Amino acid sequence: MKRIRCPKCDEPILFDDSLYTPGRTLVFECPSCRKQFKIRVGGKVLTTQNTAAFGTTPEAEEKPAVGYLVVLENAFHLRQIVPLHEGENRIGRHVKGTKAEAAFKTVDPSVDETHCAIKVSRTKSGRLLFVLRDGPSGTGTFHMNELVGVKERVNLAEGSIITIGATTMILHEGTPPEEEQSSISCLMKKLFLLFFLILTPFLRSHAQAVAINDTTRASFYCEAEGIRIYLDMGKESLTVPGMSFLGPVHAYMAGRIYGVWMLTKSERKGGTVILRFTNDIGSDSQTVELKPLPNGTYQYTALEGNNVRRVQGRKLVKVPDTMIMKRSPI
Q: What is the pLDDT of residues 113-152, one digit of tens each?
A: 999 999 999 999 999 999 999 988 988 999 998 899 988 9
Q: Which residues of 150-165 are buried (b: 16+ CB within 10 A; e: fewer)?
A: eeeebebeeebebbbb
At 127 the pLDDT is 93
At 67 the pLDDT is 94
For domain 50-173, which architecture applies?
Sandwich (2.60)
Cβ atoms < 10 Å from Cβ of 257:
19
Handedness of CA 26, 30, 34, 35 (dihedral sign): negative
Peptide bond into 136 cis (omega under 30): yes
C-alpha–C-alpha distance, residues 291 and 272, integer Å? 5
Q: Which of 67, 58, 139, 73 is nearest to 104 (CA)?
A: 73
C-alpha–C-alpha distance, residues 277 and 266, integer Å? 9
At 325 the pLDDT is 92
- The answer to whether 30 and 43 are in contact (CB under 8 A) is no
Q: Beta partners for 103?
A: 92
- CA dihedral of 262, 139, 107, 92, whole degrees rounded to 10: -160
At 152 the pLDDT is 94
At 3 the pLDDT is 67
| Domain residue ranges of the chain, discontinuous segments joined by + | 50-173, 180-209, 217-328
C-alpha–C-alpha distance, residues 303 and 326, integer Å? 20
Helix runs in the chain, H state only: 58-62, 183-209
At 330 the pLDDT is 84
At 59 the pLDDT is 38
Q: What phi, psi does 9 have (nearest 5°)? A: -115, 0
Q: What phi, psi does 60 have (nearest 5°)? A: -70, -35
Ranges of the chain with pLDDT below 70: 1, 3, 9-10, 12, 42-62, 178-209
At 60 the pLDDT is 36
At 9 the pLDDT is 66
- The answer to whether 102 and 83 are in contact (CB under 8 A) is yes
